[in-house]
Amino acid sequence: MSGSVWRAAAGFYPAPAEGTLARLAAAAAVPAAGDTVNRLTSSFGLSQAEGLRWSADASLAQLQAGSGKLPAGGAAVLKAELGASPAPSS
């Protein structure tokens, strides 16, 4: 894998080294030991990068900075987006 074309980092999928969407292409839900991406039974990690935001139906998944959990078991759709972080509420 050429470092000038591809970038790989812990907690991310390999992705193109350059380009606006590179961080989004690399975003990953990281399963806990014994789980797989298609079968998350406990807490899991979420890639963190500047401008990367994760979201999901709050009744199905609890997301915090860099981690998530499916409290009811079951399934949830996770969505990664690029954009400015929300402004702090006053």
Report the distance separating Cα 5 and Cα 14, nearest Å. 10
Around Cβ 16, how many Cβ atoms within 10 Å? 12
- Would the pLDDT of 85 be above 70? no
- Would the pLDDT of 86 be above 80? no
pLDDT in tens, 15-66: 888 887 888 889 999 998 988 888 887 789 999 988 899 999 999 999 998 9
Closest of 37, 48, 40 to residue 9, by C-alpha: 48
